[in-house]
Amino acid sequence: MDGMLQPPSVTVFDAAASLVSLAVYVGAAILMLARRPRDSAARVFLVIALTSAVPYMLSAAQWWKGAGVYRPWTIALTAAAFSVGSTALFHFAQVFPWRRPWITAHGRWLIAAYVVPTVSVGAAAWVLTGILSQMQADAPPDQFAIASTAVPLVQWLVVMAALPAIFVVGVVFPLVGVTSLAFSWREAKARANEPARITAFWMLISQMGGGVLAVLVIPLLHVIGVSAPWPTIFGVLVYGFALIMPIAYINTSVP
């Protein structure tokens, strides 16, 4: 079970970079909330920082312990944190540097957006890891397909029912969030609002650059078996792009 549920090995660089990234995100969130306690964007950014704590801490814990960190409950927790974080990033793009028309007209939908996908994705992650563990425990590798038929239908239904939620938080919210930032950047440029334009631009760079590398490039390198130093180089870039967003936020002078 443990071997199946473990992600690729974590290096000391990954562990250190995760802790540094966590410190920067949480520090930036606390600083901005102290500066602007009534600002909804500052509160939402704190949610983003806190949800990022789960994967960052687990990455460091995996390097420290070596194995056994990723179990069904930690994977479910990570999936739920990803769902909340994705929704919060979308939410943040709707209120920073100013409120977008969508949230003004449909802000009540955000409650469902936070709750429904998170419950669905977390439950699916828990059930799916249980299914994989059961398959591995009940049959040798050459009988894997036969063993899969013994999994209760209700468990597969839970996983299948969560697919729309996974699509929403994994694809729709990130794309809409980036699009909202792009619109804000264009509007700031048209209004000659330099603080808003500069901050929105760097946040766009952070989200687009980091997203492409994390979602497409690095997994592809693992699949095709590219050796060092390229995975490390792209890993440094991912962490670098991720840090652009909190740094840009704490340096903003947007009212």
12: left (phi over 0), alpha (psi -120 to 50) or beta: alpha
Which residue, 239, 252, 159, is CA-closest to 202?
252
Identify the residue whose tokens are 């050459």: 142
Residues 106, 18: Cα–Cα separation, whole Å: 35
Per-residue pLDDT of the chain (255 residues; tens, 9 = 90+): 444 445 556 778 888 989 999 999 999 999 999 999 999 999 999 999 999 999 899 888 888 876 667 788 888 999 999 999 999 999 999 999 999 999 989 888 999 999 999 999 999 998 888 777 666 655 555 554 444 445 677 777 888 888 999 999 988 999 999 999 999 999 999 999 999 999 999 999 998 887 766 666 666 666 666 666 766 777 788 888 889 999 999 988 665
Measure Cα distances from 134 to 70, 130, 154, 231 in Å. 16, 6, 15, 32
Spell out the domains of the chain, with CATH numbers in brackets. 2-250 (1.20.1070)
Task: Give pLDDT, residue 215.
Answer: 63
Q: 134: exposed, middle or buried (C-beta count within 10 Å: 0-12, 13-18, 19+)? A: middle
The pTM (predicted TM-score) of the whole model is 0.84
Identify the residue whose tokens are 């468990």: 155
Whether omega for the bond prior to residue 195 falls within 30 degrees of 0, making it cis, is no
Measure Cα distances from 124 to 68, 72, 117, 135 in Å. 20, 10, 10, 16
Task: Give pLDDT, residue 60.
Answer: 86
Task: Give pLDDT, residue 40.
Answer: 93
Task: Give pLDDT, residue 220.
Answer: 65
Task: Give pLDDT, residue 159.
Answer: 81
Contact, 139 vs 146, CB < 8 A?
Answer: yes
Which residues make Cβ contacts (< 8 Å) with residue 142, sequence separation at least 6? none
Rounded CA Rg of the chain:
20
Task: Give pLDDT, residue 128.
Answer: 85
Whole-angstrom distance between the N-terminal and C-terminal Cα of the chain?
A: 51
Task: Give pLDDT, residue 222.
Answer: 64
Task: Give pLDDT, residue 199.
Answer: 93
Task: Give pLDDT, residue 107.
Answer: 86
Task: Give pLDDT, residue 11.
Answer: 78
